[in-house]
Amino acid sequence: MSDSQPVIVWFRQDLRLSDNPALQAATGTGAPVLPVYVLDDENAGEWSMGAASRWWLHESLNSLHSDLDGGLQFFKGRADQLIPRLAEQVNAGGVFWNRCYEPWRISRDKVIKAELLANGLQVRSFNGSMLFEPPTITKSDATPYKVFTAFYRKGCLQSGPAPRAVVDKPSGLRLHEFNTGSVLADYGLLPDIRWYSEMAETWSPGEDGARARLKHFLKAGIQHYKSGRDRPDQEFVSRLSPHLHFGEISPHQVWYAAKALEADASFAGDVDHFLSELGWREFSNHLLYYWPELPRNNLQRKFNRFPWREDDKALQRWQRGQTGYPIVDAGMRQLWRTGYMHNRVRMIVGSFLVKNLLLHWHRGEDWFWDTLVDADLANNSASWQWIAGCGADAAPYFRIFNPVTQGRKFDPDGVYVRRYIPELAKLPNRFLHNPSDAPDTVLQQAGVRLDDNYPAPIVDLKESRERALAAFKSLTVNQ
């Protein structure tokens, strides 16, 4: 590869300039760099991005394009055809990228690498997105972990390689003069109807937004993270998940920034707990790598016999936040409006769907995939299997979250519920999380009319719990 031949840097889930190993290495060759992004819906298949993710991607690519002084080149189509064709067109000497671990990406990237190598190009891939890459973490018998604590504490922290060091934003980056003439608007990522207006008010996609979000969390959130992270009415979660998914910030940057606070004893427990949450992200990717069927197939095969119900009306009421249980409805409305839901509430709404409504976890997985700005194949799949009880290290079948008691415990003053369900705002806290228990006079005074301006409960909690337990126990009986 000569210095005059450009190096293509293929951006994927690493939409940033700092701590980008592929970009750093390409710049270090001294050759001009051609940065490209390919929207590859064809190879992604059913896992092409949902609507909320596409909005985020549009904004993030705009930001990266600006950071590259207008030098990012956009393509849409099959990357296994476009990348080799582009390399030939510009007489590239090499193609560099940071690795991804979704099964469809792994299969596609192997094909691309083989063709590029056969054509005489240099191909280099790097770790840009994982603290502990899946192939590096196994048990002593070389089998993959299925339990999180052992995976994280023993496999990663005790036996695994230390997370790589953060690399600087490359200096001396020289862009190859090439322009396809395509613009981001050609991607069709944004619909004509601006349904995403509240998401745009809520989030700041891009590398600058990611850095600002991390800075804010380390200053105002992490000190009370261990206890406060379960409170949707408070601001003690990082909200870094979409920035991490799109690679606007690396987990390595987050890891070392948080660990820098460990020297202060007042932060120690909170920092450790936050880092373990990054560990859950690693564990989900570990599961997806070793069990590529994770997004659709029960890891515990006995669940293939589970008697799921079909009820489109109930599913729609859950999706729209009309179940009659305020903490569930507030979560679903937060998701619809902002593309995000607090993690504690995700567990509550997930349990309600698969256990109280007995609807297949695929229904929740698909809805989250379309509506979350942080929709991530590994996290989404592993989390839904966890709450359904059919995954690795899953919640036990008898763990059925009671949305009333959960609401009272984690939103005791009703701040979260009142924010997203204003029609209940005047209800006293005593009845806010279960309006159907309120006397008629209290409902009238609060302006609440059940099954008019707020729905009555879609199911009885006690009866639906017993129904779920019977369904779960049937799996053991029929073994």
Residues 288-310 pLDDT 10s: 999 999 999 999 999 999 999 99
Q: What is the pLDDT, as a whole number, of residue 465?
A: 97
Predicted local distance difference test score (pLDDT) of residue 182: 77
Are 332 and 469 part of one and the same domain?
yes
Calculate mean pLDDT across residues 448-459.
97
Residue 218 domain-assigned (yes or no): yes
Query: pLDDT, tens digit, for every residue of 168-213?
Result: 999 999 999 988 777 888 888 987 778 889 999 999 999 999 999 9
Of 42, 280, 297, 423, catalytic: 280
- The structure tokens listed for 385 are 């299997």
- What's the pLDDT at 266? 84
Contact predicate 273/85, CB 8 Å: no
139 and 157 both lie in a single domain: yes
In terms of domains, do 45 and 137 share one? no
Domain boundary among 252, 269, 290: 290
Distances (CA, A) of 32 to 19, 28, 29, 89, 98: 19, 10, 9, 15, 18
- The answer to whether 386 is a known catalytic residue is no
Has residue 170 been placed in a domain?
no
Check: CB of residue 266 under 8 Å from CB of residue 359: no
For 251-269, what is the HEC assignment?
A: HHHHHHHHHCCCCCHHHHH
The structure tokens 């709450």 sit at 387
Active site residue 47: no
Residue 361 corresponds to which tokens in the numbers above? 């976890």
Q: Which of 384, 386, 402, 434 is catalytic?
A: 384
Among the listed residues 115, 127, 343, 423, the single catalytic one is: 343
pLDDT value of position 267: 84
Mean pLDDT within 427-436: 97
What pTM value is reported for the model? 0.96
Say which of 361, 367, 369, 386 is annotated catalytic. 361
* Cα 383 from Cα 435, distance rounded (Å): 30
CA distances, 88 to each of 7, 33, 134 (Å): 12, 15, 33
Q: What is the mean pLDDT of residues 90-97?
A: 97
State the total domains in the chain: 3
pLDDT above 60 (res 478): no
Asked whether the predicted pLDDT for residue 264 surpasses 70, the reply is yes
Average pLDDT, integer, range 373-384: 98
25 falls within a domain:
yes
The CATH number covering residue 251 comes to 1.25.40.80
Residues in the chain, total: 479
355 and 365 share one domain: yes
Helix (H, G, I), strand (E, B) or coil at 292: coil
CATH of the domain at 425: 1.10.579.10
pLDDT of residue 479: 54
Rounded CA-CA distance 230/190 in Å is 33
**End-to-end CA separation in angstroms for the chain:** 61
Structural domain that includes position 57 = 7-129
Give the pLDDT of residue 463. 97
**CATH number (domain holding residue 93):** 3.40.50.620
Residue-wise pLDDT tens digits, 340-365: 999 999 999 999 999 999 999 999 99
For 211-249, the pLDDT digits (tens) are: 999 999 999 889 899 989 999 999 999 999 999 999 999
Lowest mean pLDDT among 100-104, 194-198, 337-341: 194-198
Claim to verify: residue 390 and residue 378 sit in the same structural domain: yes
Is 198 contained in some domain?
no
103 & 157 share domain: no
Residue type at 323?
Answer: T
Confidence band, pLDDT 50/70/90 cuts, at residue 60: very high
Does residue 338 sit in the same domain as residue 365?
yes
The answer to whether residue 12 sits within a structural domain is yes
Give the chain's mean pLDDT: 95
b/e map 258-282, b = 16+ CB within 10 Å: beebeeeeebeebbeebbbebbbbb
Confidence of residue 75 (pLDDT cuts 50, 70, 90): very high
Q: Does residue 308 have an active-site annotation?
A: yes
Q: Is 328 found in the same domain as 403?
A: yes
In a domain, residue 180? The reply is no
Q: Which of 42, 62, 235, 308 is an active site residue?
A: 308
pLDDT for the residue 3 = 66
**pLDDT tens, 13-47?**
999 999 999 999 999 999 999 999 999 999 999 99
Q: Is residue 15 part of a domain?
A: yes
Catalytic-residue membership of 384: yes
Residue that terminates a domain, selected from 290, 324, 352: 290
Q: How big is the CA angle at 422 (ends 419 and 424), to the nearest 5 degrees?
A: 110
Rounded CA separation 41/45 (Å): 6
Is residue 396 domain-shared with residue 443, that is, in the same domain? yes
**Distance between CA atoms of residues 92 and 34, nearest Å:** 9
Q: Note whether 122 and 135 are same-domain residues.
A: no
Q: Is residue 380 flagged as an active site residue?
A: no
Domain boundary among 129, 153, 177: 129
pLDDT tier, 330 (very low <50, low <70, confident <90, very high otherwise) = very high
For residue 185, tell me if it sits in a domain: no
pLDDT band at 253 (very low <50, low <70, confident <90, very high): very high
| Pair (45, 158) in one structural domain | no
Query: Pairing state of beta strands 94-98 and 7-11?
Result: parallel
Q: Do 236 and 138 share a structural domain? A: yes
Please, which pLDDT band fits residue 1 given cuts at 50, 70 and 90?
low
Q: What is the pLDDT of residue 2?
A: 60
